[in-house]
């Protein structure tokens, strides 16, 4: 299954604009990353998987594998695990491009280590 097929089959139509915006941002902010389906969801990888997009019935969860290590000056990261953190996006008004770019940049820096 491709990411396009995944979006059509598994993401609610009203959430498609959020996924499209995330995918566009990833192409811009992480041009060397490979977009793929891993463990049944869209994932981004350079050396290792560093981010995934997970749809729910209410929102899109954009998760970062090593998000617990990030500087979170935007205070958008959620999660209590020791490693990963995520951002929930319910609509395009909640799409904070500056914050997401910051998180993607940090994820790439950690992945490069």
For the chain, first and last CA: distance in Å?
30
The CATH number covering residue 42 comes to 3.90.1150.200
Q: What is the largest CA-CA distance in the chain?
A: 38
Total tally of structural domains belonging to the chain: 1
Render each residue's pLDDT in the chain as its tens digit; 113 residues: 899 999 999 999 999 999 999 999 999 999 999 999 999 999 999 999 999 999 999 999 999 999 999 999 999 999 998 999 999 999 999 999 999 999 999 999 999 99
pTM above 0.85, yes or no: yes
Domain containing 23 equals 3-111
């Amino acid at each position: 299954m491709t990411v396009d097929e995944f979006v059509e089959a598994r993401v609610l139509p009203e959430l498609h604009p959020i996924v499209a915006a995330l995918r566009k941002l990833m192409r811009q902010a992480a041009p060397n990353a490979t977009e793929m389906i891993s463990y049944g969801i869209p994932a981004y990888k350079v050396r290792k998987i560093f981010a995934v997009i997970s749809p729910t019935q209410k929102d899109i969860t954009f998760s970062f594998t090593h998000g617990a290590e990030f500087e979170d000056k935007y205070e958008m990261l959620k999660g209590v695990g020791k490693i990963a953190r995520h951002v929930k996006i319910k609509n395009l008004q909640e799409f904070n491009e500056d914050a997401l770019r910051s998180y993607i940049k940090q994820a790439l820096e950690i992945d490069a280590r």
